[in-house]
Chain A
Amino acid sequence: MEEKVLEILKDLFELETVDKTCSQETCEKWDSMGQLNLVVELESEFDLSLEPEEIGEMKSFDDIIRILKIKLDGKSLG
């Protein structure tokens, strides 16, 4: 999952290199439009639906992984 998320971040925000420190603070192109595009990519890749309040908390790579894990765990339980 982590590799796939890094790949999405790299492609979406046109980064030459990407690592786990990637965040809204460090990535210039990660703006509000970028965030909505990121949501579209994540929902498509992981076949899930993110709630707006979850999206509002996704400010970094670590946030994305944390939220995706909760969503995917819930999905497998469901």
Chain B
Amino acid sequence: MEDNAIDPASIDVLLFMSQTADYRIPATAPVLQHRLGLPVDTMAMDLSLGCSGYVYALSTAYAYASMPDVHRVLLLDGETFSKIVNRNDKVDWPLYGDAATATLIEKGNFGESTFILRSDGSGRDAVIIHDGMRNPVNADSLVEVKNENGDIHNRLEIYMDGMDVFNFAMKRVPKTIKEMAEVTGMPLDSVDWLVFHQANRFMTDFFVKKLKFNPQRVPYCIDRYGNTSSTSVPLTIASELRDKMKNGDRVIMAGFGAGLSWGVAAITMNDCSISPVIEY
């Protein structure tokens, strides 16, 4: 907000997307409203999804920004997976990173944006923290389980079946990107940037090859920040495209993960200002 001289009082809606919220109660968004000095007439609420989360949250922000009397929506997306991955887990610990991003969406004449948002809860167990409310936390929740792959977790830490997620992404993501090209009438070779959730570069490079998309137009930051769950799409834009994005660039974003849940967005970047990444 400082970079763009945004008056906190001008924020009408605050959305916070996370699966690692500060507390179970209250939601984090009202806490952030207070900490950021936003007025009490700010509508503030949490959203919760995994690696598809940013695309979903952006669609929510756009929906609110299209309402009368809503001019600015602040979308904060933050994940601290280091707190929910077992440090001895040889599969997941090296993979995940922590990150947070802030996106300000303003009402304006920015052209059409299209979202395709999908869900398949039959894959619930592919990425899961087992204990919570449905399975209440007890002493057994802290007992570590180790499998033959070197995957160690207790029932309050994240478990991922890598092949289930891989098969899901393979089956759903490229097809939904093709569907986006058909729905919008926008051939993929007219898209300036294709931004994937940063999960597995071998896999998304394979998608790029199968989609016959220009690999030079597919940014990655997984080598530096790892898989930062729902923040990875906006983090990739901030870290890789800050100096490359031009006014009017067409961007396709693809998020996919726990749920199972996936979303693809086609956005035109008009009057878009990107602040530098701050590393801690």
Contacts and interface: CB of A to CB of B under 8 A. Distances in A.
A33 B168 CA distance: 15
Interface string A26-68: 0010111101100100000000000111011101000000000
B172 interface: yes
B203 A57 contact: no
Contacts of A59: 163, 167
A28 B171 CA distance: 22
Contacts of A31: 162-163
Contacts of A32: 162-163, 166, 200, 202-203
B167 A53 contact: no
B92 to A, nearest CB: 14
Interface residues of B, number: 19
Contacts of A28: 148
B35 interface: no
A32 B160 CA distance: 13
A37 B216 CA distance: 23
A24 B173 CA distance: 21
A53 B168 CA distance: 9
A57 B171 contact: yes
Contacts of B162: 31-32
A56 B163 contact: no
B90 interface: no
Contacts of A55: 170-171
11 contacts: A32-B162, A32-B200, A32-B202, A35-B163, A35-B166, A36-B206, A52-B210, A53-B175, A55-B171, A56-B171, A59-B163
Interface of A: 24, 28, 30-33, 35-36, 39, 51-53, 55-57, 59
Interface of B: 148, 162-163, 166-175, 200, 202-203, 206-207, 210
